[in-house]
Amino acid sequence: MAGVFDRLQAKIKDKQKEGGITALDLADLPPALRKIMRLMLRRLQLSYPQLCAAMEEMPEAERLTRGDLDQALDSLYEQAWLVRLGQGDKAIYKVNLRPKSGSTLASGIWSSLDEKLRK
């Protein structure tokens, strides 16, 4: 029987294969990671210095230390929530959104309506 850690690892690997996240996935994140992702979703792309500045602007109770921020960014990158371009202070982070799947519902509805209108 698989443990909680094994299931979590499997879920992370599945997300990496899928190539991104959806807004519903945010609820599963710990508060510190969710805070960073909410900030990232507002801007979609931030450099490391911009992230640090945004963290400094937050109320003191909500701020992450530089070490905690670094760990959180590494974790989000490893879990494929963020894409990192570059390293260190020159890094740029982007949100890794999952592509929206196309809907086949619309074509079915329109063909049904066309048939009813013809009759």
d(CA 108, CA 105): 5
Domain count, the chain: 1
CATH number at residue 75: 1.10.10.10
Q: What is the pLDDT of residues 79-94, one digit of tens each?
A: 888 999 998 889 999 9
What are the beta bridge partners of residue 97? 21
Residue 29: band (very low, low, confident or very high) from pLDDT cuts 50, 70, 90: confident
Q: Which domain holds residue 52?
A: 4-118
Tell me the residue type at 79. Answer: Q
d(CA 112, CA 34): 43
- What lies within 8 Å, CB to CB, of 94 at 6+ separation is 40, 44, 45, 82, 83, 85
